[in-house]
Amino acid sequence: MSMPLPSGSPRMRTVILETLPPPAKLYGRALPGIFKRADAVDQLLPLRLVRPSVALDPEQIGRYARVCGFIPEQGVPVTFPHVMAFPLHLMLLTDPAFPWPAMGLVHVSNSVRRKRTLLRTGIAH
């Protein structure tokens, strides 16, 4: 879901990523942000990152499920899409225009609800 930008805001910029930078590079981008000073801002950067056609890797899903205690017969673990999207989140958080340091941001709470089972080949109805 896309939130409308306030009037007078810069236009949303969409970047399509066919591949992701290596994790070490993403974490390295977060380090200088430790010292970033948060100035008062009234809006976030108008940037959308899109990674089309992401394939689900059964071995990666299986390793994740085993470590986190998910049952393979229940399909793709409900939290796995977040794992897939995390590099995009980190790219946004470490963008030079992002106003706050990536390190130190905390979640107050998270909630995940499964409406349908996510299978390796798509969504089960």
Span 87-103, mean pLDDT?
A: 82
For the chain, the domain total comes to 1
Indicate whether 68 pLDDT > 90: yes
Quick check: is 96 in a domain?
A: yes
Please indicate, yes or no, if residue 29 is contained in any of the structural domains. yes
- Average pLDDT estimate for 28-42: 68
Using CA atoms, how far apart are residues 103 and 35, in angstroms rounded to an integer?
Answer: 9
pLDDT digits (tens, 9 = 90+) for 100-120: 777 777 777 878 888 888 777
In a domain, 6, yes or no: no
Rounded to a whole number of angstroms, the distance between the first and last alpha carbons of the chain is: 22
Residue ranges making up the domain that contains 110: 13-123
- The two tokens of residue 107 are 């979640």
C-alpha R_g of the chain: 17
Q: What is the pTM of this model?
A: 0.70
2 in any annotated domain: no
How many degrees, rounded to 5, is the angle at CA 57 between CA 71 and CA 27?
A: 100
Domain assignment present for residue 3? The answer is no
